[in-house]
Structure 1
Amino acid sequence: MSTTTITAADINKLRQATGAGMMDCRKALTESNGDFDAAIDWLRKQGQKVAAKRQDREAKEGVVIAKTTQGGASGFVLCVACETDFVAKNAEFVAFAQSLIDLAIAKDLKTLDELNAAPYEGITVVEKINEQVGKIGEKIGITRFERIDAAAVAAYIHGANRMGVLVGLSKGGDAALEAGRDLAMQIAAMNPVAVDESSVPAEAIEREKAIVLEQIKQDPKMAGKPDEMLEKIAAGKLNNFFKESTLMAQAFVKDNSKSVADYLKSVDPALKVTSFVRVALG
């Protein structure tokens, strides 16, 4: 096994991301040679319930801004990170982040590279950020920039610019956009991994299946059971994963008696979610 050095900072990072105990985090990192995501999987395979934040570890402090174009056919969300909460709450810093998303909308930008290279007050955005670093006195940068194009896009900002959500819809109109905002709040609260089962990446399914099978094999009651039985049990647990982790199958947070799919049908049977993105401070 590799002799990768596991530091106290590594252990604390894993504890913050999962909620697992210090000794368990040390063991997980040791067993995975310091690989953070592999350590999370190791903890789960041991049967621990961890609160892994998936893609929400990009920034410690900063602001997240989400906004749509005037016609609502495109939505933009970005995260401008900084080192301290003091800067994140500074009105000038928030206004700077707002100006960046306004620039992205005005220039119809599609990628983070395009945004970084865009002109801003006679210099590029990257150069302006470096100027702000000198002015503010701490490291800042754009850590996420996402865009959704659809028939209509709903945008939602949660928790004083700590999270932003975009939801792409198959059709527009007031009712559709109101539903889109409801679903954006659902996504903010429940953090689904995909719209529905069919849109979960194959590698994510295989990863979850491997974790589930390992959990089953460690159950003393399953000792000596045939592989066919273990596969069936794993399939059932995977169905629970899809129900809890895909948007359409989740219980609707405003009315737990129905699923999100049922709620959407009640608004308009033809209305679909084409895509979504959720960006949060870690």
Structure 2
Amino acid sequence: LQCETDFVAKNEEFIALTQLILDAAIDHKPETLEDLLNIQLPNGTVSQLIMDKIGATGEKMELGYFEHISAPSVVSYIHMGNKLATLVGFNKEEVAEDIAKDVAMQVAAMNPISVTPDTIPAEVKEKELEIAREKAREAGKPENLLDRIAEGALQKFYKESTLLQQEYVKDNKLTIDQYLKQNNKDLTVTVFKRVSLNA
């Protein structure tokens, strides 16, 4: 739930409304933002409650983001200032809290675009390859090496942009996948979401 000022964001009634919306989302499991806004609560729909709060405060409010994930275990992380949040789903029900939080913080800090290279859209991969080819061409590299150079650049992109291949921020000798495996050989991330109110 977004508002215009910190004064309203820190107001107890605003915080209570956000908690009410969160509880409604957990109870009703809506699939879309529209579904969430239409959930009927004792005092009206979520949308009506937001409109009522706008009327009471005189400040624009909007439920700008709605993300949900399903996994055997889900952890959330909210960064200081409440402007950045992550959800991370794991393939196991039992995940040590510190490990789960570390991975959720990794998503917040490093902003991966995908869990693995397999889940990156083909058009994103092709764009990265084309950028790498063009850079190599501008650097005067021979045409017959451009594809190989581009493939190397794509592998680097995967290491920077896919969660499981990223260097673990607390120990750059490990990837996130290695960090998970040293704690439980079968543990992995299945899905994540990252929401930033700044971008």
Q: Work out whether the TM-score is over 0.5.
A: yes
**What corresponds to 1:210 in structure 2?**
130
The structural deviation recorded for 1:258 is 1.0
What is the aligned counterpart of 1:253 among 143, 146, 169? Answer: 169
**What corresponds to 1:105 in structure 2?**
26
**What corresponds to 1:152 in structure 2?**
73
What is the aligned counterpart of 1:134 among 55, 66, 81? Answer: 55
Does the aligned pair in 1 maintain the 2:71–2:89 contact within 8 Å? yes
The 3 A distance-change label for structure 1 pair 202 and 88 is same
**What corresponds to 2:180 in structure 1?**
264
**Aligned AA (2:9):** A
**Aligned AA (2:23):** D
**What corresponds to 1:199 in structure 2?**
119
**What corresponds to 2:158 in structure 1?**
242
SS in 2 for 1:141: coil
State the alpha-carbon separation in 1 of the partners of residues 128 and 53 from structure 2. 42
**What corresponds to 1:3 in structure 2?**
none
Query: Which of 183-192 and 166-175 deviates more?
Result: 166-175
Could you give the per-residue CA deviations for residues 206-238 of structure 1, whole angstroms, max 9, x where no partner exists?
22222222333333x33xx22x31111111111
TM-score (norm 1): 0.66
The structural deviation recorded for 1:122 is 2.7
Percent of pairs with identical residues: 42
**What corresponds to 1:90 in structure 2?**
11
**What corresponds to 2:98 in structure 1?**
178
State the alpha-carbon separation in 2 of the partners of residues 174 and 240 from structure 1. 29
Does the aligned pair in 1 maintain the 2:43–2:49 contact within 8 Å? no
State the alpha-carbon separation in 2 of the partners of residues 163 and 115 from structure 1. 21
TM-score (norm 2): 0.92
Query: Which of 264-273 and 84-93 deviates more?
Result: 84-93
State the alpha-carbon separation in 1 of the partners of residues 177 and 25 from structure 2. 32
The 3 A distance-change label for structure 1 pair 151 and 138 is same
State the alpha-carbon separation in 2 of the partners of residues 269 and 83 from structure 1. 46
**Aligned AA (2:151):** A
The structural deviation recorded for 1:174 is 4.6
Higher strand share: 1
Q: After TM superposition, list the pairs within 5 Å mapping 1:59-74 onto structure 2.
A: none
The structural deviation recorded for 1:256 is 1.1
The structural deviation recorded for 1:169 is 0.8
Structure 1: gaps spanning 5 or more residues = 1-79
Could you give the per-residue CA deviations for residues 227-265 of structure 1, whole angstroms, max 9, x where no partner exists?
x31111111111110011111111111111111111011
State the alpha-carbon separation in 2 of the partners of residues 200 and 166 from structure 1. 18
The structural deviation recorded for 1:127 is 1.6
The structural deviation recorded for 1:102 is 0.9
The 3 A distance-change label for structure 1 pair 92 and 198 is same
**Aligned AA (1:193):** I
What is the count of residue pairs matched by the alignment? Answer: 198
The structural deviation recorded for 1:269 is 0.7
